Amino acid sequence: MEYAKPLLLLFLSSSLLLLSPTRAADPDPLQDFCVADTADNPAVSVNGFPCKPASAVTVDDFVFDGLAKEGNTSASIFGASITPANVLSFPALNTLGVSMNRVDIAPGGVNPPHIHPRATELLLLLRGRLLVGFVSTENKLFAKVLKPGENFVAPKGLVHFQYNVGEEKAFAITAFDSQFPGVVVAAPSLFAATPAIPDEVLTKALQVDQKVVDMIKSNFGKNNNY
Ligand SMILES: *[C@@H]1O[C@H](CO)[C@@H](O)[C@H](O)[C@H]1NC(C)=O
């Protein structure tokens, strides 16, 4: 068979490509540090943020105490509070490819199904009991109740959630391989986008009638603190 050989070569070379190590984090820095200058400067557009002059950088740029304080879980309809240590709140992370969140969840509260488009999430539960889970691209749910000290990893780009099944507040730290993982929360992205996704798209996609879409939209209209 004349065409068998090229096909075999194509197969082998594409297998090698798949086996070669892939980069899963933000790009490597090209200098020791590049503490972000987060001042608005519409004249400059870069992938990340420009650096503060090195002469203006001090040790305090590399210290962040924003995660020391418990989040206010009553301020959100979900009973959860997410406090980020990302490049926006902690500019020293610029170009370093890492960040963290503090996650506080009241009993019965949920960090609702969401995606981080740019990072894998590694969670460490420090206090309480959390049901954590993610859904694969084959729609298989991987979920478990964690005890303090246990880790859970949600692979990059997959829908995941945390739900407090315990009787006390849960406290977890999540780490990301991106300085700015981004977040797409499933329900508000569908029902509270601006401008709104047309109702006919939602009714058809979710196979429900208009009343159901209106009801869900009205829930998300009441409180914008997700
Ligand atoms: C927490 O949020 C609620 C609702 O927004 C507010 O009433 C309360 O004062 C806040 N608590 C603290 C300690 O900030």
What's the average model confidence in pLDDT over 167-179? 98
Alpha-carbon span 141 to 39, nearest angstrom: 42
Burial of 2 from C-beta contacts in 10 A (0-12 / 13-18 / 19+): exposed
Q: At residue 135, does pLDDT exceed 70? A: yes
Tokens 């509260």 appear where? 109
pLDDT, position 125: 98
pLDDT digits (tens, 9 = 90+) for 102-111: 999 999 999 9
Q: Is 223 in the pocket of ligand 1 (CB under 6 A)?
A: no
Q: Where are the alpha helices (DSSP H) in the chain?
A: 4-19, 186-191, 199-206, 210-221
CB 26, CB 178: distance < 8 Å: yes
Tokens 């980020």 appear where? 84
CA 217 to centroid of chain Cα atoms? 23
pLDDT digits (tens, 9 = 90+) for 111-123: 999 999 999 999 9
How far apart are the CA of 178 and the centre of ligand 1, in A?
Answer: 30
Alpha-carbon span 31 to 15, nearest angstrom: 35
What's the average model confidence in pLDDT over 165-171? 98
pLDDT, position 187: 92
pTM: 0.85
Q: Where are the domains of the chain?
A: 54-182, 188-222
Q: Is 101 annotated as a binding residue?
A: yes
Alpha-carbon span 153 to 169, nearest angstrom: 21
pLDDT digits (tens, 9 = 90+) for 16-54: 555 555 556 788 888 899 999 988 766 777 888 999 999
pLDDT, position 5: 62
Q: Is 75 in the pocket of ligand 1 (CB under 6 A)?
A: yes
The residues with which 114 forms a beta bridge, in sequence order, are 160, 185
CATH architecture, domain defined by 54-182: Sandwich (2.60)
**Which pLDDT band, with edges at 50, 70 and 90, does 14 fall under?**
low
Alpha-carbon span 185 to 189, nearest angstrom: 6
pLDDT digits (tens, 9 = 90+) for 182-211: 999 999 999 999 999 999 999 999 999 999
**Which pLDDT band, with edges at 50, 70 and 90, does 10 fall under?**
low
Among 72, 223, 224, the mutation site with the greatest number of ligand 1 atoms within 8 A of its Cβ is 72
pLDDT, position 25: 76
Which atom of ligand 1 lies at the shortest distance from residue 225's CA?
5
Q: Is 208 in the pocket of ligand 1 (CB under 6 A)?
A: no
Nearest residue to 120 (alpha-carbon basis) of 25, 186, 27: 25
Q: At residue 129, does pLDDT exceed 90? A: yes
pLDDT, position 122: 98
pLDDT digits (tens, 9 = 90+) for 58-101: 999 999 999 999 999 999 999 999 999 999 999 999 999 999 99
